Amino acid sequence: MIIVALVLRTTLPELEYLSPRSVEELLELKARYRDRAALLAGGTVLLTLMRLGFKFEYVIDLKRVKELSSIDYVEGKGVVIGAAATLRDLERSDVIKSKYRVLWDAVRQIGDHHLRSRATIGGNLCNPSLQADTIAPLMVLDAVVEISSVRGARRTPISELFSNPGGVSLEPDEVVTKIYIPEPPRGSTGSYFKVWWILGIAVLVSNPGDPRERVVRIAYTSAAPTPLAIKEVEKIFRQDRPLGELIKEALSVIKARVNPPSDSRASREYREHLIEFGTALLLRKLLIEGGDA
Ligand SMILES: Cc1cc2nc3c(=O)[nH]c(=O)nc-3n(C[C@H](O)[C@H](O)[C@H](O)COP(=O)(O)OP(=O)(O)OC[C@H]3O[C@@H](n4cnc5c(N)ncnc54)[C@H](O)[C@@H]3O)c2cc1C
C-alpha cells in the first residue's frame, strides 16, 4: 500500500510579489509572466497550494485593483460583480440578499466569517475544484463571466467556464474580471442545499402559484463530471397540475439525468440519495411552503 503524506510548509518558497493598481496593468503582467505567475485573490486556496509545494515565480495580487471589487446594480438590467469582491461583500449586499437570494444563501454557507472576509467570488470560481459553492447558484441565475486579457475581453455563460472536468477553461494570459447576472425573474427567490465536498444544489423559483408565469430552475455541482443545470424541469413546472405531482415528475427526470461520481468522499449511491432528498426539500420549501432561504 502506498501512503502519500501531504506536508504543509510553514514558509512559502521565494517569489516576486506584484501589486497592480489597474486592470490594464494586471493584464499586462499576466501576459508577460503567463503560467509563471499565479493570481492571488483572497489566497485561501492559493496559499494552501503553495504550502503543499506548488511553485510560481510571481504572484499577482488582485486586491488593489479597485474596479474588480465593486458590486453595481442597475434596476431592470442586473448586477455586475467584480471578480475580487469578497464573499463577505456579497453577503452584506442588500441587492444580493433581496434579488439574488439563491447566491446569497450559498455564500453565507461558505467557510466561516473570517474566510468570507478574505475569499473572493473570482477565486471561488477559479479554484481547481468544480465543487465551489457559487457555481450552481450562478448557473440558475444565468450568469455570464467576463474573461479578459491584453487581447481583449470575452463573455461566456457560466456553464461553459466549467465544461471541462479538469477545471476552469482559461488561457495562461487570461483573468476572470467580472460576473454579469441579469435581472432575475420578477418576485423570484431561491435556496441552496449543500453537503460540503460532496454535493451542491441550487434552486430558483418565481410565481409558484401561477403555472403560466411559474419559473423553476435547478443546477448541481458533483451530480455529474461537470456542473449540471437540468433545463427540462422548467417545462414540467409550467403545467397546471398539483405541485406535489409536478415535484415527483421533476425528480424522476432529474434521477435519469444525473451521473454522480464515486470518490473518496462519497459513493455514487449516497450522492444519488442526497440529490433526491435535497432537491425534494428545496422544491417543497420554495413551491409549497412558500419558504425562503
Ligand atoms: C477552511 C476552509 C473552508 C472552506 N470552505 C469552503 C466552502 O464552504 N465552500 C467553497 O466553495 N469553498 C470553500 N473553501 C475554499 C476557498 O476558500 C473558496 O473557494 C474561496 O472562495 C477561494 O477564493 P480566494 O479569493 O481565496 O481564491 P485564491 O486562493 O486567491 O485563488 C484560488 C485560485 O483561483 C485563481 N484565481 C483567483 N482569482 C482569479 C481570477 N479573477 N481570475 C482567474 N483566476 C483567479 C488563483 O490563481 C488560484 O489558482 C474553503 C477553504 C478553506 C481553507
Identify the weakest region by mean pLDDT among 22-31, 89-98, 266-275, 284-293: 284-293
Question: pLDDT at position 133, please?
Answer: 96
For the chain, the farthest-separated pair of C-alpha atoms sits apart, in whole angstroms, at 64
Which residue minimizes the CA distance to atom 36 of ligand 1?
A: 123
Question: pLDDT at position 291, please?
Answer: 64
6 pLDDT higher than 70: no
Q: 135: CA distance to ligand 1 center in Å? A: 12
60 pLDDT higher than 90: yes
Q: Is the sign of the CA dihedral 46, 51, 54, 57 positive or negative?
A: positive
Q: 46: CA distance to ligand 1 center in Å? A: 7
Which residue minimizes the CA distance to atom 28 of ligand 1?
A: 43
Question: pLDDT at position 58, please?
Answer: 96
Question: pLDDT at position 114, please?
Answer: 96
Question: pLDDT at position 282, please?
Answer: 98
- Report the nearest atom of ligand 1 relative to the CA of 84: 41
Q: Could you tell me the CA-to-CA distances from 97 to 253, 271, 290, 293 in Å, in that order?
A: 30, 29, 17, 10
12 pLDDT higher than 90: no
DSSP 166-225: TS----TT-EEEEEEEEPPPTT-EEEEEEETTTEEEEEEEE-TT-TTT-EEEEEEESSSS
Verify whether ligand 1 is closer than 6 Å to residue 110 (CB atom): yes
Q: 276: CA distance to ligand 1 center in Å? A: 28
Distance CA 229, CA 217 (A): 8
Question: pLDDT at position 9, please?
Answer: 66
CB atoms within 10 A of CB 77: 11
The DSSP element (H or E) to which 268 belongs, if any, is helix 268-283
Distance CA 252, CA 183 (A): 30
> Hey, what domains does the chain have and what are their CATH numbers?
16-61 (3.30.43), 66-182 (3.30.465.10), 189-288 (3.30.390.50)
1 pLDDT higher than 90: no
Per-residue DSSP letter, 86: B
What are 243-258's pLDDT values in tens digits? 999 999 999 999 999 9
142 pLDDT higher than 80: yes
4 pLDDT higher than 50: no
Q: 45: CA distance to ligand 1 center in Å? A: 5
By C-alpha distance, which of 122, 220, 214, 246 is closest to 177?
122
Mutation test of ligand 1: which of 26, 48, 110, 158 has the most ligand atoms closer than 8 Å to its C-beta?
A: 110
95 pLDDT higher than 80: yes
Question: pLDDT at position 7, please?
Answer: 62
Averaged over 85-110, what is the pLDDT? 98
Distance CA 213, CA 251 (A): 21
Confidence of residue 293 (pLDDT cuts 50, 70, 90): low
- Report the nearest atom of ligand 1 relative to the CA of 45: 29
- Report the nearest atom of ligand 1 relative to the CA of 126: 34
- Report the nearest atom of ligand 1 relative to the CA of 176: 42
Q: 122: CA distance to ligand 1 center in Å? A: 8
Decide the pairing of beta strands 144-149 and 175-182: antiparallel
